[in-house]
Structure 1
């Protein structure tokens, strides 16, 4: 991996890790539905602008069903669930729970293909479960009112990412940028009815709206552009590394800006979840000096 792509990878992890910071700031004021509607519309408008200048058509008539399915499982529902959980849970806990998405994806893929789960995947699943149990069992946020429902919502959000990844592998091939752009508009449409269920709960300040804007433009629009650039340059396996880096930045931003307490259970729980994810996905990091030796 080149230095430029390594920097893109770290930047992407920092951005996606920051999404939990912004949700934690804005969700208690705007409510989950209003915040996510802002996020999706801001992201869609940003990608529409980029698509206009890059001359990348959406081909809505041909792919509208695909955009709706992908938008629902990859954006609308998980974004809403994470925003709901952000009213109670810390950014650190949210980022670690999000890291279970590849584990769910592997399990759903095995069930989808009617294949037995391997011993490695089973060990990864057990470790992931143990890491989550350790984190939420010792973290003080688990004692807050409604924490149980919030934790379940965050895990179900990660589960939906697993559904989305499984669907995307079997779905009709669509150009990556169109996938991101089209699914944002579809998700914005799908989230609209929830505005009646989860109305805005407070008065939005400039800071709250700035968080919503950053969540849409930076954490969705710019992040997708970086992600698909990495997939193009280094392949999906190497781009998957961002999954392991996200919790590190989620914990870092939560500590720096929200003064969240990071205990030994946070670090150990995150490490166990990441290890479980690596086992489930079969990810094996390639060391720079090893690749040089192979080409020598």
Structure 2
């Protein structure tokens, strides 16, 4: 990997780490489905403005349908799941569970994309599952009765991310490729269209929501324009440059930023059980995505 690739990974981690803070602020006030829809909507608007300013092409080269479906898998469903989790879990919890994305990617790759795992990577997957169990059973949260539901929601989201990485390679990269901004723009169109009916239903049947909250709107706009529009351009560019599995290593860097933002802004703290589970998950991710002895020897 080049220096610019590492730089983009760190920047992307800092941005996506902040997204858990913004969702933690917005989801309890606006609701999970509304927050998820507004996130992809502002992401769509932000990407459209960026592409207009840069005079980028809106030609999908026959890959529009693929980009729309990727939007549902890589944005619509995961964002809804994380907004659900944000109602119950501190930002740090969601972020460390987000770090299981490479583990999910490894499992999905073996099951559906003929990927092979070494013994080390299998040990990493098992260790990651043990770490998740410790977080679920020993970690403390502000809503203890909903911890399991929040964890499951996060794991559904990471499963979607893992699947989307391989589908992006198969549907986009291996078919002539497509500009990262165009892929990200198409994905936000797909996510917006997918969540729109649920948003309309929610607004119609949840009139008690207080929409006049400037700080919440600021969080929604930030998570849409910065953590979605800008971040997805970086992410799809990374997939094209370094591949899906390496791109998923960004999730290894997100938790420290999410914990930092949560501590500075919301005063969130972490339990000893969470710390133990988080360390196990991080070690597991390193075992899955880190270079093996053969690659190090080759270098």
CA deviations over 1:245-274 (Å, ceiling 9, x no partner) = 101111111122111122333333222112
* Contact persistence 1:135–1:270 (CA under 8 A): yes
Aligned length in residues? 287
- In structure 1, the residue matched to 2:184 is 180
Secondary structure of the residue that 1:161 maps to in structure 2?
helix
TM-score by length of 1: 0.86
- In structure 2, the residue matched to 1:287 is none
Displacement of 1:177: 1.8
* Contact persistence 1:105–1:162 (CA under 8 A): yes
- In structure 1, the residue matched to 2:33 is 33
Secondary structure of the residue that 1:56 maps to in structure 2?
coil
- In structure 2, the residue matched to 1:214 is 222
Secondary structure of the residue that 1:74 maps to in structure 2?
helix
RMSD: 2.7
Secondary structure of the residue that 1:141 maps to in structure 2?
coil
Q: What is the rounded CA distance, in whole Å, between the counterparts of 2:284 and 2:234 in structure 1?
A: 26
Greater shift, 107-116 or 64-73, is seen at 107-116
| Match status 1:267 vs 2:271 | no
- In structure 2, the residue matched to 1:169 is 169
Q: What is the rounded CA distance, in whole Å, between the counterparts of 1:130 and 1:107 in structure 2?
A: 15
Secondary structure of the residue that 1:145 maps to in structure 2?
helix
Displacement of 1:59: 2.8
* Contact persistence 1:58–1:182 (CA under 8 A): no
Q: What is the rounded CA distance, in whole Å, between the counterparts of 1:76 and 1:209 in structure 2?
A: 19
| Match status 1:118 vs 2:118 | yes
Q: What is the rounded CA distance, in whole Å, between the counterparts of 1:28 and 1:212 in structure 2?
A: 12
Alignment of 1:98-177 (within 5 A): 98-114=98-114, 117-141=117-141, 144-172=144-172, 173=175, 174-175=177-178, 176-177=180-181
Displacement of 1:218: 0.8
Q: What is the rounded CA distance, in whole Å, between the counterparts of 1:114 and 1:3 in structure 2?
A: 30
CA deviations over 1:200-251 (Å, ceiling 9, x no partner) = 5531300000000000011011212333555677776765442211011111
Secondary structure of the residue that 2:145 maps to in structure 1?
coil
- In structure 2, the residue matched to 1:76 is 76
Partner of residue 203 from structure 1, selected from 188, 198, 210:
210
- Could you say if the C-alpha distance between residues 8 and 117 of structure 1 is closer, same or farther in structure 2, counting changes exceeding 3 Å? closer
Gaps in structure 1 of 5+ consecutive residues: 285-289
- In structure 2, the residue matched to 1:87 is 87
Q: What is the rounded CA distance, in whole Å, between the counterparts of 1:267 and 1:20 in structure 2?
A: 18
CA deviations over 1:17-54 (Å, ceiling 9, x no partner) = 11111001000111111111111111111111111232
Gaps in structure 2 of 5+ consecutive residues: none
Q: What is the rounded CA distance, in whole Å, between the counterparts of 1:177 and 1:255 in structure 2?
A: 33
